[in-house]
Amino acid sequence: MAIAMAIIAFMIVLLGLSPTLNPIDVLLGKGFEVKTPDTVGLDQTKALLLLEQGSLNGRVAFDYSNDVDLGLVIRQTPAPKDRVLRGDSVSVVVSRGPSKVPMLDVLAVAKEDAVQRLKGVGIETKVDERNDEAVPAGLVISQVPSAGQIITGGSQVSVVVSLGPVTRTVPDVSKLPKEGALFNIGKAGFALGIVSYLDDPKLPANAVISTNPPAGEARPRDTPIDVVVSSGPTPVQAPSVIGQTFETAAVSLLNQGLIAAQTTTPAAPGEPLNIVVSQDPAPGAPIRPGQLVTLTVRR
User: Could you state, in chain order, the average pLDDT of each consecutive group of 10 residues for the chain (299 residues)?
Assistant: 68 52 52 91 96 96 90 97 96 92 95 95 93 93 95 90 94 97 96 96 94 95 96 92 96 94 94 95 93 95
Point out which residues pair with 298 in neighbouring strands: 265
Name residues whose C-beta falls within 8 Å of residue 1's C-beta, 6 or more positions apart in sequence.
none
Domains within the chain, CATH numbers bracketed: 34-98 (3.30.10.20), 101-162 (3.30.10.20), 168-232 (3.30.10.20), 236-298 (3.30.10.20)
For the entire predicted model, the pTM comes to 0.50
Residue 142's alpha-carbon distances to 102, 105, 165, 167, in angstroms, are 16, 10, 16, 21
d(CA 149, CA 229): 57
Q: Taking a C-beta distance cutoff of 8 angstroms, is the pair 111, 138 a contact?
A: yes
CB half-sphere exposure, 273, CA atoms < 13 A: 3
